[in-house]
């Protein structure tokens, strides 16, 4: 039973970054812009979030307060970086895939250069531990207390709140309706006075905000508050794209997909605690491949069924507002 608790407790901090970044990709794609740059946005947000933590870690500020402020810094960084994609793909009508790939390639190199020049290392290392041993009162609840309120991070609770907010905005507001209209039928949306370019800027900006937060939460919950120019975010941005597709561009299905991939990753790093897997004497490297192999298998079997709802991408007509 302790192993089960351990797996769940360590799955959630991994699932939340995937969830948030995939939600960001959902907003972008449903507005009509394919955001391949999620990997770069994650790393950009993680870097500036950790840079903020690095400069304030020696102050008397509350640890969880630092995390919340770092989250805001990461969100701002992700938003600003996503504007480059919006400028290129929406305003200048550049190829979205090439633009996203270029943005993904730029960030690791820039971070590595800055870190080498400023810290003489490959990234930023902080000494702040955001780990929450237990949540008062709630941790005493039988079963659920151990699962969700012990040995965790507040990033898990923030992620769930952002999921609910995203679902409400996406399905229950005029903004969400207009956003989806601009992705599915941009000319029809334009004909009734909706500014398609503005809505697509908004969709990409939301993906930047969520991607930046997701990157910082990855650094907090997976990398223990550090960033690295070489390893980046270990392909989590691309994995989030697979989570988004597997979740069929729907918030709560994306949550299930994120939990699935995160659980596989947690299992891969916890083989020694699972007797029947440990007894197989298989090199752990093969287990670490599980989330990525699962990604390819899932996409192979769901690619025909899981298609974006008629997202037309950026039309090259000049008639749009």
- For residue 253, pLDDT over 70 is answered with yes
pLDDT for 312: 46
pLDDT for 234: 79
DSSP letter (8 states) at residue 133: E
**163 confidence band (pLDDT: 50, 70, 90):** very high
- For residue 216, pLDDT over 60 is answered with yes
Structural domain includes residue 315: no
Percentage with pLDDT > 90 across the chain: 56
**Strand 132-134 and strand 150-152: pairing?**
antiparallel
pLDDT for 118: 86
Structural domain includes residue 255: no
SS3 call for 227: strand
**319 confidence band (pLDDT: 50, 70, 90):** very low
Read off the tokens for 271: 């083989």
DSSP letter (8 states) at residue 228: E
Structural domain includes residue 93: yes
Number of domains into which the chain is organized: 1
Mean pLDDT of 88-98: 93
Structural domain includes residue 170: yes
Lowest model confidence (mean pLDDT) among 41-45, 66-70, 135-139, 155-159: 135-139
pLDDT for 316: 38
- For residue 136, pLDDT over 70 is answered with yes
SS3 call for 252: helix
Mean pLDDT of 135-160: 91
pLDDT for 269: 85
Mean pLDDT of 283-290: 84
pLDDT for 321: 43
Report the candidate in 210, 37, 204, 43 with the shortest Cα–Cα distance to residue 110: 43
> The whole model's pTM is what?
0.91
Structural domain includes residue 99: yes
Q: What are the Cα distances from residue 103, in Å, to 14, 61, 106, 253?
A: 24, 34, 5, 28
- The label of the residue with tokens 């597997």 reads 246
Find the angle CA(129)-CA(133)-CA(136) to the nearest 5 degrees: 125
Mean pLDDT of 270-296: 82
CA pair distance 184, 218, nearest whole angstrom: 32
Structural domain includes residue 254: no
pLDDT tens digits, one per residue of 23-43: 999 999 999 999 999 999 999
Structural domain includes residue 294: no
Provide the 10 A C-beta neighbour count for residue 65: 10
Structural domain includes residue 183: yes
pLDDT for 313: 47
Name the average pLDDT for the chain: 87
- For residue 114, pLDDT over 50 is answered with yes
**Domain span at residue 52?**
15-234
Q: Taking the mean position of all CA atoms in its chain, how far away is CA 303?
A: 21
């Amino acid at each position: 039973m302790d192993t089960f608790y351990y797996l769940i407790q360590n799955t959630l901090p991994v699932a939340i970054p995937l969830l948030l970044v995939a939600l960001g990709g959902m907003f972008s794609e449903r507005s009509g812009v394919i955001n391949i740059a999620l990997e770069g946005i994650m790393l950009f947000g993680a870097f500036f979030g950790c840079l903020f933590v690095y400069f304030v870690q020696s102050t008397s500020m509350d640890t969880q307060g630092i995390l919340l402020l770092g989250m805001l810094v990461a969100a701002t960084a992700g938003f600003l970086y996503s504007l480059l994609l919006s400028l290129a793909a929406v305003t200048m009508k550049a190829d979205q895939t090439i633009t996203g790939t270029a943005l993904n390639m730029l960030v690791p190199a820039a971070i590595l250069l800055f870190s080498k020049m400023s810290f003489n290392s490959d990234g930023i290392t902080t000494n702040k531990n955001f780990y929450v041993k237990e949540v008062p009162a709630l941790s005493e609840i039988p079963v659920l207390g151990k699962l969700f309120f012990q040995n965790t991070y507040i990033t898990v609770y923030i992620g769930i709140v952002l999921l609910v907010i995203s679902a409400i905005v996406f399905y229950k507001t005029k903004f969400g309706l207009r956003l989806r209209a601009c992705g599915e039928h941009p000319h029809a949306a334009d004909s009734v006075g909706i500014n398609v370019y503005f809505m697509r800027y908004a969709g990409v900006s939301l993906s930047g905000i969520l991607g930046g937060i997701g990157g910082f939460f990855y650094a907090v919950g997976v990398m223990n508050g550090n960033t690295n120019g070489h390893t980046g975010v270990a392909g989590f941005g691309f994995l989030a794209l697979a989570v988004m597709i597997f979740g069929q561009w729907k918030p709560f299905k994306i949550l299930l997909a994120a939990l699935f991939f995160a659980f596989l990753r947690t299992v891969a790093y916890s083989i020694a605690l699972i007797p029947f897997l440990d007894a197989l004497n298989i090199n752990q490297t093969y287990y670490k491949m599980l989330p990525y192999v699962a990604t390819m298998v899932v996409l192979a079997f769901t690619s025909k069924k899981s298609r974006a709802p008629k997202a037309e991408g950026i039309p090259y007509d000049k008639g749009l507002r």
